[in-house]
């Protein structure tokens, strides 16, 4: 290779090529290019330069210190050949003043030039063969004549005009695009969208071309719209501006099709009967689940059924005059299939009485079997009334079932409630398991020691798990995390390390045993990584463990005055019933396994959570709000439970929706006798009871309001009979002294109003809790009227006045009753207690 020319020490400003002396100061307009960062491209540059001294230098150093000028690159290597200051990405230097030059990258033969060939010079190929002699002797094409040039210009302008006319024609008469049917759109979108989303999109496409007066909504559309509206009415109003949605009045009208009242709903049972016909025999197997929920005391008038809601109501078992503060809901739940359906409810003052509850259970079982379902078990918690009913039915650990109409029904207590009861008894006073003692103090000691560690052995435990503040004792999650295998393992580890005494080992074994028991009765899958958390089968290895646990549970006693714990008896009954149920399913229905998570109350607890969440911060609704929320839940399958609920999410879905419920007809009001109550004597009661001037003015105002309502139906004679000089209160209530909008009753109307008031007071307590209350009160008040009011036969004003007085007085008395209920305060506000728990 040639030796490089001598150059200054600062080589970064000089060209690195051999025999080249170009630099920045000498050639300021020339472009210089650094060696490439890419090792392969840099190697090509070094090879073409033919210098031994830079051959061994690294790529980074070459990029930093060596450059080449533009003279060493061919024209084809530039992106802009005129300026020659930008190289293409794969440029390689090939122009050097050395003997052994690198090969050129530009092809020697230039590309063919584009030439213009006139049309006249084009020779069309004929069918006859062209001889070589003729082609050689062909004359060159002549130039176009002026006439042909003019014709060519005319042809060009005609083609341009034709092009413009075609464009105008396409705008005026656009070509019809091929129409796509709704069925084809549905098939395309069904591959990418879920069912609910697809229904919504197809509804918007279908309604886009219709006017707002021609919209017709299906039950599926209304059900989805109800989901939006129940989530947030404000969001629904916003969505109504963006999409085509049913109006609020349409949604309310559709909700009225589901007529819910206490008892077992005939419309729901009829819809359930239709759905059961499409189920398989295994899917018909179900359990009857019932539970109670606390509600707020309140009364309200239901004009549709002419009854006052808020009293104890057991449907056809009767109503009472006591104000209800509990709601008991009955639900059917699939045993092998994931479905659920509430079908009845009652209201009670306190818990449902055991005698009535026993009858309700039998009625519920009979109704479910009449629609085609096969009830196998009854699931409830260990409430005092439930325990009395099960004992009266002869349920025990040896016989965990009862007989009804010759059929066997198993009784299973809710295991999440049972695990909470065990934890609460252990936390309160400790337990005895045989001769050994199980104490909560070891759990507290282990937690105090674990909190001091930089990396905790039980990181999920918090102060709530140990101290159990208000409402924390109701959370199943807190109980299962304490009574877990992890906590038992940590306590055993600390005992082995000497951090806890040896007596704590019994507490660890006790906790680990209950963790296995809870997993055995709460399995969600056929197989699980936990040894006791899989499905229960007839030949399962857990059979011996559960049978051994039945005798072990009998050795557990309390340290307090109550030695025999009800929860241990509940564990025994539940395990015995589960084992018998597995055997029954295998023998009678050929079902080989059972997911024991189907044997709890999570479905109805989630229902209560949705009802409480429907009211925002109102966690104890009254009867009207409870019925409305339950009605919405039944037709709205998208409503979800609160995240702070005390149980797990169940995967069950409601059997039917709004489209499966037949529209309800107007109920027939019960007929009542008019002479049921004793007659009323005006002279003894009317005037002495209302001698107070203030009461007389208020009563005059009410009578004047009623006269104002019936004034359009009065003739001139009757209107003069019902008029009277103004009372002071009515005069002050008027907005203007010149024009009076309030009528003043006469003395005849005042006497009539006084008599009706005293008659209403004497009989209202006996009537309010019964059916057809308004009709009964109106009939009674008309019969006891003895005031001779001069009226014509056409107006019949006494009847109109008495009927309207009954309506006004009924609503007023119910409002005062609700105000009385609100005055009874708790020791502390419930909302404040919940916020303190959060």
The residue-averaged pLDDT of 682-707 equals 61
The residue among 598 and 689 whose pLDDT is bigger is: 598
Tell me the C-alpha distance between 65 and 53, whole Å: 13
Handedness of CA 769, 775, 776, 777 (dihedral sign): positive
Question: Would you state the pLDDT for residue 122?
Answer: 44
The percent of residues above 70 in pLDDT, for the chain, comes to: 79
Radius of gyration of the chain (CA): 46
Residue 348 DSSP one-character state: E
Residues with Cβ within 8 Å of residue 628, at least 6 apart in sequence? none
Q: Is the pLDDT of residue 379 over 90?
A: yes
The residue-averaged pLDDT of 566-594 equals 91
* Helix residue ranges, H only, 429-565: 441-451, 463-467, 476-482, 485-497, 504-520, 542-553
Tell me the C-alpha distance between 798 and 752, whole Å: 8
Closest C-alpha to 126, from 135, 117, 115: 135
Question: Would you state the pLDDT for residue 663?
Answer: 54
Q: Which of 449-463, 689-703, 764-778 has the lowest mean pLDDT?
A: 689-703
The residue-averaged pLDDT of 515-542 equals 83
Q: Which of 42-56, 588-602, 740-754 has the lowest mean pLDDT?
A: 740-754
* Residue 733 DSSP SS3: helix
The residue-averaged pLDDT of 3-17 equals 59
Strands (E), 52-149: 67-69
Question: Would you state the pLDDT for residue 562?
Answer: 65
Q: Is the pLDDT of residue 399 over 90?
A: yes
Residues with Cβ within 8 Å of residue 552, at least 6 apart in sequence? 433, 513
Question: Would you state the pLDDT for residue 650?
Answer: 61
* SS3 assignment for 178-244: CCCCHHHHHHHHCCCCCHHHHHHHHHHHHHCCCCCCCCCCCHHHHHHHHHHHHHCHHHHHHHHHHCC
Tell me the C-alpha distance between 718 and 796, whole Å: 10
Tell me the C-alpha distance between 445 and 692, whole Å: 71
- Following CA atoms 443, 445, 446, 449 in sequence, which dihedral angle do they give, to the nearest 10 degrees? 160
DSSP-assigned letters across all residues of 426-448: HHHT-EEETTEEE-THHHHHHHH
Residues with Cβ within 8 Å of residue 813, at least 6 apart in sequence? 764, 768
| pTM over the 0.85 mark | no
pLDDT tier, 142 (very low <50, low <70, confident <90, very high otherwise): low
- Contact between residue 566 and residue 556 where contact means Cβ atoms under 8 Å apart: no
pLDDT tier, 684 (very low <50, low <70, confident <90, very high otherwise): very low
Q: Is the pLDDT of residue 802 over 90?
A: no
- Contact between residue 203 and residue 189 where contact means Cβ atoms under 8 Å apart: no
- Report the first-to-last Cα separation within the chain, whole angstroms: 85
- Contact between residue 627 and residue 837 where contact means Cβ atoms under 8 Å apart: no
pLDDT tier, 222 (very low <50, low <70, confident <90, very high otherwise): confident
Tell me the C-alpha distance between 752 and 98, whole Å: 133
Closest C-alpha to 36, from 93, 112, 104, 97: 93
What's the pLDDT tens digit per position in 438-491? Answer: 999 999 999 999 898 889 999 999 999 998 887 788 888 899 999 999 999 999
Residue 350 DSSP one-character state: S
Tell me the C-alpha distance between 627 and 636, whole Å: 14
Question: Would you state the pLDDT for residue 792?
Answer: 67
The residue-averaged pLDDT of 759-775 equals 87
Domain ranges of the chain: 1-108, 263-381+601-660, 428-557+581-595, 682-823
Q: Is the pLDDT of residue 508 over 60?
A: yes
The residue among 455 and 700 whose pLDDT is bigger is: 455
Question: Would you state the pLDDT for residue 652?
Answer: 63
Report residue 254 as tokens: 């559709």
Question: Would you state the pLDDT for residue 7?
Answer: 46
Question: Would you state the pLDDT for residue 292?
Answer: 94
What's the pLDDT tens digit per position in 80-110? Answer: 888 888 999 889 999 998 888 888 887 666 6
Question: Would you state the pLDDT for residue 10?
Answer: 47
What's the pLDDT tens digit per position in 315-332? Answer: 888 899 899 999 999 999
- Assign residue 248 a region: left if phi > 0, alpha if psi is -120 to 50, beta otherwise? alpha
Question: Would you state the pLDDT for residue 837?
Answer: 47
């Amino acid at each position: 290779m040639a030796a490089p020319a001598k150059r200054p020490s600062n080589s970064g400003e000089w060209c690195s090529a051999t025999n080249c002396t170009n630099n920045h100061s000498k050639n300021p307009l020339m472009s210089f290019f650094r060696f490439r960062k890419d090792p392969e491209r840099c190697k090509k540059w070094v090879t073409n330069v033919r210098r031994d001294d830079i051959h061994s230098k690294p790529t980074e150093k070459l990029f930093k210190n060596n450059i080449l000028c533009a003279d060493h690159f061919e024209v084809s290597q530039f992106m802009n050949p005129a300026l020659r200051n930008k190289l293409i990405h794969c440029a390689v230097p090939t122009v050097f003043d050395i003997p052994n030059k690198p090969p050129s990258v530009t092809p020697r033969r230039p590309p063919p030039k584009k030439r213009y060939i006139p049309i006249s010079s084009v020779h069309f190929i004929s069918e006859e063969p062209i001889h070589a002699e003729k082609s050689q002797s062909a004359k060159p094409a002549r130039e176009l004549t002026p006439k042909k040039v003019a014709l060519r210009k005319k042809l060009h302008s005609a083609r341009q005009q034709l092009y413009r006319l075609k464009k105008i024609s396409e705008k005026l008469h656009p070509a019809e695009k091929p129409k796509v049917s709704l069925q084809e759109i549905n098939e395309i979108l069904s591959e990418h969208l879920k069912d609910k989303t697809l229904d919504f999109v197809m509804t918007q496409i279908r309604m886009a071309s219709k006017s707002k007066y021609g919209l017709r909504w299906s039950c599926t559309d209304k059900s989805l719209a109800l989901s939006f509206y129940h989530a947030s009415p404000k969001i629904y109003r916003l969505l109504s501006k963006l999409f085509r949605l049913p109006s609020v009045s349409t949604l309310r009208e559709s909700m009225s099709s589901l007529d819910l009242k206490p008892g077992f709903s005939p419309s729901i049972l009829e819809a359930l009967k239709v759905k059961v016909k499409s189920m398989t025999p295994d899917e018909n197997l179900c359990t009857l689940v019932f539970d109670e929920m606390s509600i707020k005391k309140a009364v309200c008038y239901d004009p549709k059924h002419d009854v006052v809601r808020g009293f104890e109501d057991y449907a056809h078992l009767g109503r009472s005059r006591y104000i209800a503060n509990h709601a008991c809901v009955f639900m059917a739940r699939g045993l092998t299939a994931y479905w659920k359906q509430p079908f009845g409810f009652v209201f009670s003052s306190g818990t449902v009485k055991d005698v009535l509850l026993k009858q309700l259970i039998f009625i519920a079982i009979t109704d479910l079997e009449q629609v085609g379902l096969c009830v196998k078990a009854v699931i409830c918690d260990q409430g005092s009334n439930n325990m009395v009913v099960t004992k009266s039915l002869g349920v025990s650990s040896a016989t965990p079932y009862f007989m009804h109409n010759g059929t066997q029904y198993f009784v299973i207590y809710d295991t999440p409630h049972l695990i909470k009861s065990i934890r609460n008894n252990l936390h309160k006073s400790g337990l005895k398991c045989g001769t050994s003692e199980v104490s909560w103090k070891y759990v507290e000691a282990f937690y105090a020691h674990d909190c001091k560690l930089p990396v905790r052995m039980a990181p999920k435990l918090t102060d709530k798990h140990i101290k159990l503040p208000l409402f924390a004792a109701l959370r199943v999650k807190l109980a299962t995390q304490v009574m877990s295998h992890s906590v038992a393992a940590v306590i055993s580890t600390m005992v082995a390390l000497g951090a806890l005494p040896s007596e704590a080992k019994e507490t660890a074994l006790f906790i680990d045993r209950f963790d296995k028991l809870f997993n055995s009765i709460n399995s969600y899958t056929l197989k699980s990584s936990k040894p006791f958390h899989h499905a229960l089968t007839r030949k399962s290895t857990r059979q011996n463990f559960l049978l051994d646990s039945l005798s072990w549970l009998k050795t557990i006693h309390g340290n307090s005055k109550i030695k025999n714990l009800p929860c241990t008896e509940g564990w025994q009954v539940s395990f015995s019933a589960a084992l018998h149920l597995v055997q029954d399913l295998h023998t009678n229905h050929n079902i080989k396994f059972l997911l024991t998570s189907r044997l709890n109350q999570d479905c109805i607890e989630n229902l209560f959570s949705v009802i409480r969440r429907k009211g925002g911060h109102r966690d104890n609704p009254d009867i009207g709000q409870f019925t409305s929320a339950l009605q919405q839940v039944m037709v709205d399958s998208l409503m979800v439970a609160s995240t702070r609920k005390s149980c797990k999410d169940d995967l069950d879905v409601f059997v039917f929706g709004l489209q499966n419920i037949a529209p309800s007809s107007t109920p027939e009001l019960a007929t009542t006798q008019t002479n049921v109550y004793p007659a009323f004597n005006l002279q003894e009661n009317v005037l002495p009871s209302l001698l107070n001037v203030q009461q007389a003015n208020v009563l005059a105002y009410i009578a004047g309001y009623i006269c104002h309502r019936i004034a359009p139906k009065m003739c001139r004679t009757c209107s003069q009979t019902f008029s009277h000089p103004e009372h002071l209160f009515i005069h002050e209530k008027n907005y203007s002294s010149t024009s009076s909008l309030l009528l003043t009753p006469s003395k005849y109307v005042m006497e009539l109003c006084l008599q009706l008031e005293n008659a209403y007071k004497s009989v209202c307590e006996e009537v309010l809790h019964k059916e057809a209350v308004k009709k009964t009160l109106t009939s009674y008040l008309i019969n006891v009227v003895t005031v001779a009011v001069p009226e014509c036969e056409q107006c019949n004003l006494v009847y109109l006045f008495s009927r309207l007085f009954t309506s006004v007085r009924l609503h007023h008395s119910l409002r005062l009753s609700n105000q009385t209920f609100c005055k009874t305060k708790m020791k502390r506000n419930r909302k404040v207690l919940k916020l303190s728990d959060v």
